[in-house]
Amino acid sequence: MSNHDELFAMNIQPSDIVVALSGGVDSSVAAALLKMRGWNVHGLFLILPATGSTGGKRLKAVEAVTYHLKIPLEIIDLKEEFIASVIEPFISAYSKGFTPNPCVICNEEIKFRHLRLYAKQKGIPFLATGHYVKAVKRQGITDLWRGKDSGKDQSYFLHRLNQDSLSMAVFPLGEINKRYVQNIAIELDLPCRETSESQELCFLSDGNYREFLENRFGSSIDMNGDIIDSHGKRLGEHKGIHRYTIGQRHGLGIASSRPYYVKEIRPDTREVVVGRKEELFSKNVDAELFNWIGPLPSSNEPDLKAQIRYRHKAASGRLTVTGSNRVRFRFEEPQMAITPGQALVCYTGDRLIGGGWIIKKEADR
């Protein structure tokens, strides 16, 4: 198995390590690679809310993988904590006209927090996940870098991690690509699930968050409201602001020779403001609760770029600290559909320097 060593180079002496397992290919291969390199691997499965038989299938897959790899497994039930920390804020955000990113919160508040707590409780010095990112130690801190596979890089979702977690973190998949991971799973005959590559929310069976929200809101949800243009002209009616997000084009029900896009959501008046595509571009984005991975960068940091959503191509600009844990990023070129509730994540080259939650502009309030 030593033929994989060159693609899994690490400057850390193998020791005890706890690996978050989901039953999927990525986490299973991460555990397998660690064991191949001589680590004493402990598996940890976190029970989270799931629909139907999904949760049971995940656990059975994890049990099959740990049996195959001959590693111990511990199980922690976090359903109630997940509801309080992830699902309830998710629901609240939509009711306020924001578009939340629960995966970011889950990584910070659920996965890495409990990995770290479990590791410290058991005296295990390291923790690992199957994320496609790299952790690099530098001058007493641990930096977070994009994964080698640019199509799978998941650093955006981990921008809120602190040094307590990062200093213990090992990411076995950071230097390899998805196809190689799949080949390892086949080569080792790992009994893991082939999970979907989509970014669907793990607590939804079909990705239909609108139906999920309406079921959770129940009769308390205020549904109907007006769709208006930037000048206040009424163009139609909607069935709930939770059904819309900034930049949305389809499902507006407006007859027009040119398409309209959602430009703004006003929860107080239950209005959805639409505009033409050119109205959705902006250079400035403000973010709060900004989490710095390391020290604050200098004002002339080279190759500074930012993303405003996971699949957004990072674009160049200038970062300014505007207050306590608040920043403004000014893009060199206007970006489309900057969405409150999503994360602004900043990089210098491929090194992640921090991220925060996008807030509404003063003009939008």
Is 103 assigned a catalytic role?
no
Distance between CA atoms of residues 247 and 31, nearest Å: 39
Is 346 assigned a catalytic role?
no
Distance between CA atoms of residues 209 and 216, nearest Å: 10
DSSP per-residue string spanning 123-192 = T--EEE---SEEEEEETTEEEEEE-S-TTT--GGGGTT--HHHHTTEE-TTTTS-HHHHHHHHHHTT---
Backbone CA torsion sign across 277, 278, 283, 288? negative
Task: Single out the catalytic residue among 103, 192, 202, 346.
Answer: 202
Distance between CA atoms of residues 295 and 293, nearest Å: 7
Question: What DSSP character marks residue 193?
Answer: B
**Among 173, 48, 42, 47, residue whose Cα is nearest residue 118:** 42
Residue 67: in which H helix or E strand, if any? helix 54-69
Task: Single out the catalytic residue among 103, 106, 192, 346.
Answer: 106
Catalytic residues: 106, 202
